[in-house]
Amino acid sequence: MNGGQVELELTVPSTAENIPLVRHAMAGFLDGHSLPGALTSDVLLAVTEACTNVVQHAYRDRDDDGDGEIEVSAERADDTLVVSVRDRGRGFAPRVDSPGLGLGLPVIAALTQNVEIRPLPPSGTEVVMTFTLETG
Amino acid sequence: MGSDKQQPAGDTEGSTSFEEQRVEEQVTVLQVQGELDIGSADALRSALDAAEAQADIVRLDATGVQFLDSTALGVMLASAQRLAARGGRLELMNASPAVRRILDMTLIARTVHLIP
């Protein structure tokens, strides 16, 4: 979907308090596309899980330089919705002291038609989630 | 058997609120309103802790829960395991289809007892 038009772009500080903000912004975006309710719920959950991963992992090695940011974008083609969640943090790596259950990525994988996790040079991670829109 | 309404056990975290009611000697109902995610996880944890102190069976009424993610599930799972260790259980009632979906997806329904 590289040639697609970006229809939503949002950048917020990487804090837990901002995750509902991202979710509500995404809900507003999805409202405008008249998606089925179940698909909307799936997208909102997947975006929340991806943003939670950023808050919990991406910038945890930073001292007092302030929080990093979460960048969220979404674009719709005819039959797909592609949502990307990016950070400029330490990069994707296993963590033995994870504060969560480690369910975030499995949940994302279950909710999406495709998910790609890419390094983002010079540092950071991009999670690209593709949803197939039901037609008819 | 009568409902003995108590002081709110938790507190309010953003737009999410928690209210605890003792409905039977061994059952405490925790009514939750709002969205359960990383932003309200600490408040959920506190509310469940308080409910666990009241009874061995904690019934989380999710009628007012509009959203629930894996962070909240983790908090619920920990509570369910604590209760199970002493012969109790965590029940979840009135979960929406969206909430049930993540429960089914993560198989947490094996640990948290679902009530239609």
pLDDT in tens, B35-70: 999 999 999 999 999 999 999 999 999 999 999 999
By Cβ distance, the residue of B41, B69, B77 closest to A45 is B69
pTM: predicted TM-score of the whole model, two decimal places: 0.84
Q: What is the pLDDT of residues B8-36, one digit of tens each?
A: 444 555 678 999 887 777 899 999 999 99
By Cβ distance, the residue of B37, B70, B106 closest to A20 is B37
Please give the CATH architecture assigned to the domain spanning B4-115: 2-Layer Sandwich (3.30)
DSSP-assigned states of every residue in chain B: ---EE---SS-EETTEEEEEEEEETTEEEEEEEEEESTTTHHHHHHHHHHHHHH-SEEEEEEEEEEEE-HHHHHHHHHHHHHHHHTT-EEEEES--HHHHHHHHHHTGGGTSEEE-
Mutate to test the interface with B, among A12, A15, A18, A19 (most CBs of B within 10 A): A19
pLDDT of residue A9: 96
ipTM associated with this complex? 0.84
- Proportion of chain A above pLDDT 70, given as a percent: 82
At a CB cut-off of 8 Å and minimum separation 6, what does B71 contact?
A52, A100, B36, B37, B38, B41
What's the CA gap between B93 and A66, in Å, rounded? Answer: 40
Q: B70 and A49: CB-CB below 8 Å? A: yes
The residues spanned by each domain of chain B are 4-115
Lowest mean pLDDT: which of A21-30, A85-94, A109-118, B92-101? A85-94
- The CATH class given to the A8-132 domain equals alpha beta
Nearest C-alpha of chain A: how many angstroms from B6? 29
Chain B contacts of A43, Cβ < 8 Å? none
pLDDT of residue A61: 73
